[in-house]
Amino acid sequence: QKSFADWIRAINAEKAKLAPEDYVASINNGFTEVKCFGTTTMANLTAFPELVPQISFPIRTCWFGELIDVRGTADADLAAKFLRSAEHWGLAPHAPFTASAELYRRCERLASLLTTHIAESHEEMSMFRDASGPLYDFLKELGRDMSDCGGKTPLAWFLTFRDLSTPLGMTKEWLVVHLNELTDSDSNLLEKSPRNFSIVHCPRSHSYFGHSPFQFERLRALGFNICLGTDSLASNDNLSLFAEMRAFQKEFPNVSPEEILQMVTVNPARALQHKGALARLLAGFRADIIAVPCTKPAAAYEEIVAFDGAVEGTVMDGCVSGHVP
């Protein structure tokens, strides 16, 4: 879609055709796909947390209940009730343009792990900073209260939504997805903000929409924990983190393959509060291992990032799945 708002309209139209059993089948298919690409731990957002108890997930999954209250209230308490059946869970007020400040506050009170989409598109920036644009018009038509628009960027909205004397996230961990549209004033805010939220960049989804260049060097220099994600199949070809690494390398060729690999292993483990348990081959850590071909040990990191295929063997929690050479 030429317009981000039109893309949202198209997604909503497709979702309206689906029944709960379609979502369960889709989620199960997604698990099958990510396993083929060697993923052993996933952060998965779901708009239907009531379905989670019906799903037998084959990999370690942190479920986030995605919440939107544009057209009415969103029951964060009920979402948390369903998600507590999973070992790892959190809440996801979708984005500032679809979730109210009160919903963000409620999610912070209920969950210790949270995620949200911030500053994804040009249209989101226009909506909040300029009180104009296709996304502004679309949400106004839906009946959203637009009084929080005008004079403030999406990131500024996020960093101040609590309206408290302490900065956002002083006691809670957030995974902030995207941060594609940042102004100089946003950079000043980030310099002053605590570094206790992680940033998730989705290279191929970013390319799909043609967003502004991701400011990786600036965010890395500020000390933020940066991870790579797939976003979703609504704006991507598949759920391969290997493909995300290759796309990121094309975007930032001066970043070492070792650092790129950390952005799908060590950094996400830290973001999901598994820093001392996942993503390293050390005594006391969970034994998650995948095998990929390597012909030049001295260039192992380069070969891992370049790998383009299905992972045949996986060890997860010390249990072998498939053929491990």
Digit-coded pLDDT (tens) for 22-79: 999 999 999 999 999 999 999 999 999 999 988 989 999 999 999 999 988 899 999 9
Tens of pLDDT along 66-113? 999 998 889 999 999 999 989 899 999 999 999 999 999 999 999 999
Rounded to whole angstroms, the Cα distance separating 12 from 1 reads 13
Instruction: Tell me if 118 sits within 8 A of 155, measured CB to CB.
Output: yes
The answer on pLDDT for 167 being more than 50 is: no
Categorise residue 163: left if φ over 0, alpha if ψ from -120 to 50, beta otherwise. Answer: left
For residues 74 and 68, the answer to whether their CB atoms sit within 8 Å is yes
Q: Is the pLDDT reported for residue 175 higher than 70?
A: yes
The pTM (predicted TM-score) of the whole model is 0.94
Q: Is 220 exposed, middle or buried (0-12, 13-18, 19+ CB in 10 A)?
A: middle
Q: What is the pLDDT of residues 237-282, one digit of tens each?
A: 999 999 999 999 999 999 999 999 999 999 999 999 999 999 999 9
